[in-house]
Structures are given as structure tokens and as C-alpha cells.
């Protein structure tokens, strides 16, 4: 009975570790499937009927070949002058998320289309301004506070975290900017629009990896992920360590009582 109870308890803990960690991981290997078991695939919205993912192409990242999504310029449809084009991430967390982390491997291979390029939009109807941008001087941030360098035509791993009071911006694992804000605009509700803005402040891009956590990754954790990679983004090492440790404990207790 003790063994059964312990194993059941361990299983619950394992489920809690997984659900409290990575909400979604999308690798764009020819589709928009979520690599997290039971997680939602990315979806697209196009009022004009234009393709959101124009093609899946091969690209070299860190000396390795990856299949990547070739994305149109999203948000307000600048080609037709009307309608919307969205790449939508469903937030599978149980409630609006005020502590989160967003990571993407991205290459603006056509350069930046304007002074600002949106990275995400929390307004699920795209009725307001985007919520973080790359500035024309290549800094990253929001509300007039930009720093760091995001070079066009290069692969970069961009990570943005929010802890209900501060946005932190990372490029290839290095912290480059922090913006203090308690505004509700940065809470993620039922969905998140990727690379979308209501005023066409967007750019075409190649996207290889996208991941979203329902908690704030630490600076050490983000650093551990490093730069853009051809491989899929996976849960942070600390989560894996907990899973392995709990599994080992369960097997040990079973052996002791057998």
C-alpha cells in the first residue's frame, strides 16, 4: 500500500511539474504541431485568404539543417490594405498568465520592413498596439525603452519573460534589456498573437522554434538555452532533473518494499 501511494503521489508530482512548465513547443517541421503532449497546435487567421506560412524551407542554423516556416508579414494586411493575418498561439494554461516566458528562433531574412517590428500581441482581437518590438536601430523592448542588437538576416534566439512587474529581454541567452511595468496589457489570456501588430509594424521572417512557459524563466535558465538551434526547444534542464530524480526515487522505494 505504501508503495502504491508513493508511486501515485510521484505520478501526480510529475504531472504538476510538466503542466507548470512548458505550455507549448513548436518546431515547424512541416506543420504547426505542438510537441507538448496534449498541447494545442498553432492556428492561423487570414481574412484575405493569403497564406500565413508561405512555405516550409530548409535553412542552416549553427551548421545544421532545419526545416523552418517562411512567414508572411503578419497583422494588418499591408498587401490588400484590409483584413488581418495572424499566427495564433493558444494559451493552454488554466488562467490568464501574468508570469510567463516566450522564446523564438527567428531570422528576419528580408530585413526590417519599418521602424518597428512587433514580436507579439496580447490583444486577442489585434485592436491595440503590439506589446514588444524590435526598433529600427535593432534594439529590443517596448514603450520607448530599447537596447541590444537583433541583426537582420541572422538567426537569433529571442527570449522575453514577464513576472507581473518587469519584462526582461534576451538575445541568444544574454540579458540585454529590462522594462518595468505592471500593466495588464502584458498578461497573456486565452491566446497570444505571434509577430502581429494592428498598425502593420511587422516584418517577414523565418521561424524555426517557438516555446511558451507559464512561469518566468530565470536569467540562468535562459542563458542555459543559448542561441538559435536547428534542434527543437525542450523543457529547461531543471525540469528534466526533477523528472529523473522523482522517477529514481519511485523505483528505489519499490525495490525496498518488494
- With respect to residue 47, please indicate whether it lies within any of the assigned structural domains: yes
The CATH number given to whatever domain includes residue 127 is: 2.60.120.200
- With respect to residue 255, please indicate whether it lies within any of the assigned structural domains: no
- With respect to residue 6, please indicate whether it lies within any of the assigned structural domains: no
Kindly give, in sequence order, each residue whose CB lies less than 8 Å from that of residue 244, ignoring residues fewer than 6 positions away.
none
- With respect to residue 94, please indicate whether it lies within any of the assigned structural domains: yes
pLDDT band, very low/low/confident/very high, at 199 (cuts 50, 70, 90): confident
Q: Count CA within 13 A, CB hemisphere, residue 87.
A: 27
Residue % of the chain over a pLDDT of 70: 79
The arithmetic mean of pLDDT across residues 119-135, rounded, is 94
In Å, how far from its chain's centre is CA 184? 19
- With respect to residue 55, please indicate whether it lies within any of the assigned structural domains: yes
pLDDT above 90 (res 133): yes
pLDDT band, very low/low/confident/very high, at 225 (cuts 50, 70, 90): very high
pLDDT band, very low/low/confident/very high, at 257 (cuts 50, 70, 90): low
| 61-97 confidence digits (pLDDT tens) | 999 999 999 999 988 655 555 678 899 999 987 678 9
Q: Answer whether 27's CB lies under 8 Å from 35's CB.
A: yes
- With respect to residue 3, please indicate whether it lies within any of the assigned structural domains: no
Residue % of the chain over a pLDDT of 90: 66
Query: Backbone phi, then psi, for 10, in 5-degree steps?
Result: -65, -40
153 vs 49, higher pLDDT: 153
| 144-156 confidence digits (pLDDT tens) | 999 999 999 999 9
Kindly give, in sequence order, each residue whose CB lies less than 8 Å from that of residue 6, ignoring residues fewer than 6 positions away.
250, 253
Given this model, what pLDDT does residue 137 score? 87
- With respect to residue 125, please indicate whether it lies within any of the assigned structural domains: yes
- With respect to residue 10, please indicate whether it lies within any of the assigned structural domains: no
Domains identified in the chain, total number: 1
What domain range is 36 assigned to? 24-241
Q: Answer whether 201's CB lies under 8 Å from 75's CB.
A: yes
Amino acid at each position: 500500500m505504501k508503495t502504491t501511494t508513493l508511486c501515485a503521489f510521484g505520478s501526480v508530482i510529475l504531472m504538476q511539474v510538466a503542466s507548470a512548465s512548458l505550455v507549448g513547443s513548436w518546431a515547424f517541421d512541416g506543420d504547426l504541431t505542438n510537441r507538448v503532449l496534449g498541447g494545442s497546435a498553432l492556428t492561423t487567421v487570414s481574412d484575405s485568404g493569403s497564406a500565413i506560412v508561405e512555405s516550409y524551407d530548409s535553412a542552416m542554423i549553427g551548421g545544421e539543417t532545419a526545416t523552418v516556416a517562411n512567414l508572411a508579414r503578419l497583422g494588418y494586411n499591408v498587401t490588400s490594405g484590409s483584413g488581418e493575418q495572424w499566427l495564433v498561439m493558444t494559451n493552454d494554461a488554466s488562467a490568464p498568465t501574468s508570469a510567463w516566458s516566450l522564446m523564438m528562433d527567428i531570422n528576419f531574412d528580408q530585413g526590417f520592413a519599418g521602424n518597428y517590428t512587433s514580436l507579439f500581441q496580447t490583444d486577442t482581437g489585434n485592436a491595440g498596439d503590439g506589446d514588444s518590438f524590435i526598433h529600427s536601430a535593432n534594439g529590443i523592448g517596448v514603450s520607448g525603452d530599447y537596447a541590444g542588437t537583433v541583426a537582420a538576416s541572422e538567426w537569433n534566439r529571442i527570449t522575453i519573460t514577464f513576472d507581473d512587474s518587469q519584462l526582461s529581454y534576451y538575445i541568444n541567452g544574454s540579458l540585454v534589456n529590462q522594462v518595468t511595468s505592471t500593466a495588464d496589457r502584458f498578461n497573456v489570456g486565452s491566446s497570444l498573437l505571434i509577430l502581429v501588430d494592428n498598425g502593420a509594424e511587422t516584418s517577414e521572417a523565418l521561424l524555426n522554434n517557438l516555446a511558451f512557459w507559464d512561469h518566468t524563466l530565470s536569467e540562468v535558465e535562459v542563458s542555459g538555452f543559448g542561441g538559435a538551434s536547428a534542434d527543437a526547444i525542450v523543457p529547461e534542464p531543471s525540469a528534466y532533473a526533477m523528472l529523473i530524480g522523482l522517477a529514481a526515487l519511485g523505483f528505489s522505494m519499490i525495490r525496498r518494499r518488494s
